[in-house]
A = this chain, B = another copy of it.
Amino acid sequence: MSAQRVTTIPVRSAAGRYRVVFDRGGIERLGRHLRTVLPSERVVVVSDATVAALHATPALAALQRARLRPELIVTPAGEPAKTLESARRLYEQLADLRVDRSTGVIALGGGVVGDLAGFVAATYLRGLPLIHVPTTTLAQADAAIGGKTAVDLPAGKNLVGAFHAPRLVLADTDTLATLPERHLRAGLAEVAKVAFTIEPALLRGLEGRFDLERALVAAARAKARIVSADEKERGRRMVLNYGHTVGHALEALGGYKRWLHGEAVAHGIQAAARIATLTGVGSEAWEARQWALLEMLGLGGEFPRVSIAKLLTYMSLDKKARAGVPVFVLTARVGVVRVRRSLSVDTVTRALASLGAQP
């Protein structure tokens, strides 16, 4: 582990501090990374079929080399698998393995595995030690940091969940080499979100000479700063929901299949930027700059021609909605965020219609 290769980002949480470690090739050193954060030598690696095929063997070998006793549970891949039924199966597999409260759960995979295994770790035996080993741009820059875990309901995204801080987040950027291009790009929506809302320097970097690893680390650092200040989303953390009001509704509307989370968030950012322009919070120039960066990252493009009425229904069920009125995070310009809790249906409808959504 040379000093150059490893970046360590500290995160504060009510349950204690933990580190987000970017370590290229770090899965080979997984056992060593874990030695100080686990209460016993038993660990269960939870991964999906796609990621397990690529990374489970080296991960298990690394754990064994460190004299840990790993077991592997493989779940189905994809957001449609992030259900209570998947959680139930995981609980029963943990019971079959006679897992106890000192057994660590390692979530090896993208955002879906992290959310699902995280929720199960939060609730099995009222809480098991959790380690995230994110293998996607989305999870490394965003999802693995901050302790949110969840499963989806048919009624909406992430409606059931818990806060459960990990003991460690180990991001091995070598895993991105095997990530399909579409997934790699989708995760950059969360990086763009951070750039638009809280990191002017990152925005300039993304618009200039783009370096993937630097962008991920910068986004992770910004997210760590925000969640350290506001773990339970009582205030500042709300900015991280930029693009997610419409994004989550799109995902639900598409049965969690049609758009990847990041793709839906990119469209959600388009919608938020349009609403900001229409309401005078933002400007056309700022909206155009956001569309341009998304385009450059291979995201965005045309807003989907979906039913506005259906989108509004899903938005009214959003976790942050109050009495059915969704919350919108808007940006006035880079780094200047406005949270709007009482946008009229009419305003939102006009914005979505002007983007090409269907009345």
Contacts and interface: CB of A to CB of B under 8 A. Distances in A.
Nearest to A161: B126
Interface string A64-103: 0000000000000000000010011001100110101110
A322 B156 CA distance: 37
A316 interface: yes
A84 B92 CA distance: 12
Interface size band for A? 35 or more
Given A92-B154, A155-B92, A155-B95, A126 B162 contact: yes
Contact of A84 (B84, B154, B156, B319): B84
A320 B88 CA distance: 20
A153 B91 CA distance: 8
A169 interface: no
Contacts of A122: 162
Interface of A: 14, 40, 42, 84, 87-88, 91-92, 95-96, 98, 100-102, 122-127, 148, 150, 153-156, 159-163, 316-317, 319-324
30 contacts: A14-B14, A42-B323, A84-B84, A84-B91, A91-B153, A91-B159, A91-B160, A92-B153, A92-B154, A95-B153, A95-B156, A95-B317, A96-B155, A98-B316, A98-B323, A98-B324, A100-B321, A100-B323, A101-B319, A101-B320, A101-B322, A102-B322, A123-B123, A123-B161, A124-B160, A125-B319, A126-B148, A126-B150, A126-B162, A162-B162
